[in-house]
């Protein structure tokens, strides 16, 4: 049966987060909507626990951590919605959110993707959109992404932060789903760029608030998550830029990591290693640089990957 929205929650560990997300989605659902949970091999019994509360949930069980994009694609393949909501397990949505997203899609048939305004748990806005990255912005320490604030009104943007995206199925059919070569990071950036290249509008709607904890998937494994960041970033370069520019970006980032390592070694020494933030930045640079220089071993990074 055709549905209005298929709401997909991508999950790996964290029963409290998952319960809050599911409760908020159920509160927003109509009989025309459906919810699908994709579990990326949780190790904390959160799925069995949530099934004791919500016995009729549709759950896709993965035996290993497939990554965010692959899991989202599984839900979109299984779902029958005219629109998809794809979200992390650490967000909540308001009771009116689905109706608000639907109104936006109906008002403009060329809108392919929408995000509400993400906030922290105190209600303060969290950066949700930006211009699309350019070659210049990818040169760390030289170019920078535009760090102005999110628009105050519903606006077309370059890229969206993918913690909770509403997507038109027709746009997915034309542009394709997430590129599941990305395990973690940059999958949302590449998807937004691909949508825009086919003239689908990427929109932020600030009146739709999306509380988001943020970082819950990677805080426990910070250094490992930095490996995933660089791995996905280099994959993004390969998909967007010609080979000679990819090599140039790669060499500059190695040099930048070395310079950062020297700087943080000096300041960590001067502060006698007592500043935890500086010390962590030094360890981060060393860890990532080592991974790059020894050939980017695939088994480095976040645990539990397929």
- Domain ranges for the chain: 3-211, 219-293
For the ranges 20-24, 182-186, 250-254, the maximum mean pLDDT occurs at: 20-24
- Residue 144 predicted with pLDDT over 60: no
For the chain, the 3-state helix, strand and coil shares in percent, each to the nearest 5, are 40, 20, 35
Other CB atoms closer than 10 Å to residue 126's CB: what's the count?
15
| Fold held by 3-211 | Spore Coat Polysaccharide Biosynthesis Protein SpsA; Chain A (3.90.550)
- Residue 220 predicted with pLDDT over 80: no
Mapping DSSP onto H, E and C, the string for 222-247 reads: HHHHHHHHHHHHHHHHHHHCCHHHHH
Q: What tokens were used for 258?
A: 């070395």
- Residue 235 predicted with pLDDT over 80: yes
- Residue 173 predicted with pLDDT over 90: yes
210/108 Cα distance (integer angstroms): 22
**pTM of the model as a whole:** 0.90
Let me know: does 67 contact 180? Beta carbons within 8 Å. yes
Helices (H) and strands (E) counted in the chain, each on its own, are 9, 10
Q: Which helix (H) or strand (E) holds 198?
A: none
Phi, psi values for residue 32, rounded to 5°:
-90, 0
The pLDDT value recorded for residue 265 is 95
Partners of residue 116 on adjacent β-strands: 205
Report the b/e string of 99-112 with b at 16+ CB within 10 A: ebbbebbeeeeebb
- Residue 177 predicted with pLDDT over 60: yes
CA angle 247, 253, 256 (to 5 degrees): 145
147: confidence class by pLDDT, cuts 50, 70, 90: low
Let me know: does 199 contact 174? Beta carbons within 8 Å. no
- Residue 82 predicted with pLDDT over 90: yes
223: confidence class by pLDDT, cuts 50, 70, 90: confident
The pLDDT value recorded for residue 133 is 86
143: confidence class by pLDDT, cuts 50, 70, 90: very low
Q: What tokens were used for 213?
A: 């904890």
117/157 Cα distance (integer angstroms): 13
Give, as one character, the DSSP assignment of residue 263.
H
Strands 3-11 and 34-40: parallel
- Residue 169 predicted with pLDDT over 90: yes
225: confidence class by pLDDT, cuts 50, 70, 90: confident
Taken in order 292, 293, 297, 303, is the CA torsion positive or negative?
negative
Q: What tokens were used for 237?
A: 């370069």
The pLDDT value recorded for residue 148 is 64
Query: How does pLDDT run across 120-131, given as a tens digit for each residue?
Result: 988 899 999 999
DSSP string, 74-102: HHHHH--EEEEEEEETTB---TTHHHHHH
Pick 12 or 218 by higher pLDDT: 12
The pLDDT value recorded for residue 165 is 98
- Which of 263, 264, 262, 238 lies closest to 250, judged by CA? 238
């Amino acid at each position: 049966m055709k549905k209005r929205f298929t709401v997909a929650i991508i999950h790996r560990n964290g029963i409290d987060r998952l319960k809050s997300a599911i409760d908020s989605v159920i509160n927003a659902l109509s009989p025309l909507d459906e919810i699908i949970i994709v579990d990326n091999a949780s190790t904390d019994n959160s799925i069995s626990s949530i099934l004791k509360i919500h016995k009729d949930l549709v759950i896709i069980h993965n035996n290993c951590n497939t990554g965010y994009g692959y899991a989202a694609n599984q839900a979109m393949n299984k779902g029958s919605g005219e629109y998809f909501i794809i979200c992390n397990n650490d967000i909540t949505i308001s009771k009116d959110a689905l109706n608000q997203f639907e109104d936006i899609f109906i008002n403009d048939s060329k809108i392919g993707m929408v995000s509400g305004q993400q906030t922290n748990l105190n209600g303060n806005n969290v950066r949700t959109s930006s211009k699309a990255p350019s070659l210049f912005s990818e040169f760390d320490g030289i170019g920078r992404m535009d760090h102005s604030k999110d628009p105050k009104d519903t606006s077309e943007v370059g890229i969206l932060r993918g913690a909770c995206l509403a997507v038109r199925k027709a746009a997915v059919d034309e542009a394709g789903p997430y590129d599941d070569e990305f395990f973690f990071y940059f999958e949302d950036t590449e998807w937004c760029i691909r949508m825009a290249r086919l003239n689908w509008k990427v929109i932020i709607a600030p009146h739709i608030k999306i509380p988001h904890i943020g970082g819950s998937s990677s805080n426990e494994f910070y250094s490992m998550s930095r490996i995933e960041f660089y791995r996905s970033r280099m994959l993004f370069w390969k998909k967007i830029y010609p080979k000679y520019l990819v090599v140039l970006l790669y060499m500059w980032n190695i040099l930048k990591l070395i310079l950062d390592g020297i700087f943080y070694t000096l300041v960590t020494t001067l502060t006698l290693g007592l500043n935890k933030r500086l010390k962590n930045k030094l360890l981060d640079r060393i860890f990532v640089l080592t991974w790059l220089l020894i050939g980017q071993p695939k088994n480095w990074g976040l645990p539990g990957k397929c």
